[in-house]
Amino acid sequence: MNQVEVFVEIDAPPAVVWEALLAFDTYPEWDPISRTIEGVAVDPSMQRTGDASADLGRFLDGPMAVTVEPTRRLAWLDRLVVPFAFDRYHEFHLEPIDDGRRTRLLQRETVRGAFVPLVFDAARVERAFVAMNEAIATRAERRASATP
């Protein structure tokens, strides 16, 4: 098992950061990982946790949203065809700081499986997460400053 964690502190409340995370249709405009996320069924008012559930929606070519806690946590599981060949568990945690005026964002990915030693580059993933967290921070801070 390998894991990469990257934190950033954002000058925006968790609800604003959450909105930026769920704006999947805008990812190609700002996400340095160039991720395209389509077909997501994540209702921001819904609170679901636990095992993968079909009603939470699928995105990309296979990842399944497994945990949705509005303004707190979003996680998905992605598998390479067969379980335990190359499993990626990706999550975002939003923690309110400074009485909820700011947010500490954690982006974490845990990978397991037989192909991990062959295809997983932790340093590259960490650089990508740092860039993505900075982009999320910029987007959320812009939204927060535009709100009266």
Task: For the sheet with 64-69, list strands across it.
Answer: 2-10, 102-112, 87-97, 73-79, 64-69
The CA-atom distances, in angstroms, between 101 and each of 11, 74, 80, 106, 143 are: 7, 20, 39, 17, 13
Q: What is the mean pLDDT of residues 19-38?
A: 77
pTM more than 0.85: no
Q: Does 42 have pLDDT greater than 80?
A: no
Q: How confident is the prediction for the chain on average, in pLDDT?
A: 82
Rounded to an integer, what distance in angstroms lies between the CA atom of residue 38 and that of residue 26?
11
* pLDDT band at residue 53 under the 50/70/90 scheme: very low
Lowest mean pLDDT among 21-25, 47-51, 93-97: 47-51
Of the candidates 128, 142, 135, 146, the residue with the CA atom closest to the CA atom of residue 21? 135
User: CA torsion sign, 51 to 54 to 55 to 60?
Assistant: positive
The two tokens of residue 92 are 């975002």
Supply the pLDDT for residue 91.
95
Supply the pLDDT for residue 32.
77
Of the candidates 124, 49, 131, the residue with the CA atom closest to the CA atom of residue 91? 49
Domains and CATH numbers, the chain: 2-146 (3.30.530.20)
